[in-house]
Structure 1
Amino acid sequence: MSSTIELEHRAYWAIKKFESRHGSSRRKEILLHELEEFRYHAYENAKMYKERTKRIHDRRIQSRDFEPRQLVLLYNSRLKIFGGKLKSKWSGPFEVVRVTAHGAVELKKPNSDETFLVNGQRVKHYYREATNCERSSIDLEEA
């Protein structure tokens, strides 16, 4: 009797081992499939996120199409070295003489004939504000 119990026990363990090997490989296949699907969805989500952020970014970019005789401001990168809240990094206004095909802009000071070339990314449009020069006074009474 002891031999039949041992045989049954060994058979039980053999079946269990066989199932665990094949069952675990099946589980691994399922896990690999799920991981592939997860990676695919992550890739698609990243692609959609990039497209959406690009649309938002492109919407905020202002057009920098310059024409001759237009007034512009020039970015002064040397002022970045010296800190300070009150120093303006934009100088000008300058007048556009011509725009090259590669984006360089030829500028001149309004009162002189001397021209110089700058990168078009260092230039922005100058908008003159119609300021009201009238002054008003407010009397403050002591309470």
Structure 2
Amino acid sequence: LLFNSRLRLFPGKLWSRWSGPFVIKRVFSHGAVEVFKSGEEDHSFKVNGQRLKIYKGGELIRHKVASLLEDP
């Protein structure tokens, strides 16, 4: 990779891979998190959970599931 000192960023794959909000697909016990972009579930990848930040941008379309838990 070439570093552009004027813009202080790496061009190409590193920049485009992290643009936009992601959805958490699976959380592993050792701290890794599998994420994917909305609408691209086939292209998921694993990241360190400490690298993730909460998305505070515009509205996201979410499907909510409610589960009623009762004691037997």
Of residues 35, 51, 54 in structure 2, which corresponds to 1:122? 51
Which residue pairs with 2:30 in the alignment? Answer: 102
Structure (1/2) with the larger helix percentage:
1
Which residue pairs with 1:58 in the alignment? Answer: none
Residue identity in the other structure for 2:24: V
The one-character-per-residue Cα deviations of 1:17-71 (angstroms, maximum 9, x if unpaired) are xxxxxxxxxxxxxxxxxxxxxxxxxxxxxxxxxxxxxxxxxxxxxxxxxxxxxxx
Shift of 1:97: 0.7
Pairing of 1:71-90 with structure 2 (within 5 A): 81-83=3-5, 84=7
Structure with bigger gyration radius: 1
The alignment of Structure 1 onto Structure 2 pairs a total of residues equal to 51
Shift of 1:128: 2.3
Shift of 1:94: 1.0
Pairing of 1:9-28 with structure 2 (within 5 A): none
Q: What CA distance in whole angstroms lies between the structure 1 residues aligned with 2:49 and 2:34?
A: 9
Q: What is the aligned-residue identity percentage?
A: 45
- Superposition TM-score, scaled by structure 2 size: 0.51
Q: What CA distance in whole angstroms lies between the structure 2 residues aligned with 1:122 and 1:109?
A: 16
CA RMSD of aligned residues (A): 3.0
Runs of 4+ with deviation above 6 angstroms: none
Pairing of 1:1-12 with structure 2 (within 5 A): none
Q: What CA distance in whole angstroms lies between the structure 2 residues aligned with 1:117 and 1:92?
A: 16
Note closer, same or farther for the CA distance 1:116–1:86 as it changes in structure 2 (3 Å cut): closer
Q: What CA distance in whole angstroms lies between the structure 1 residues aligned with 2:21 and 2:4?
A: 22
Note closer, same or farther for the CA distance 1:120–1:86 as it changes in structure 2 (3 Å cut): same
Structure 1: state its 5+ residue gaps.
1-77, 131-143
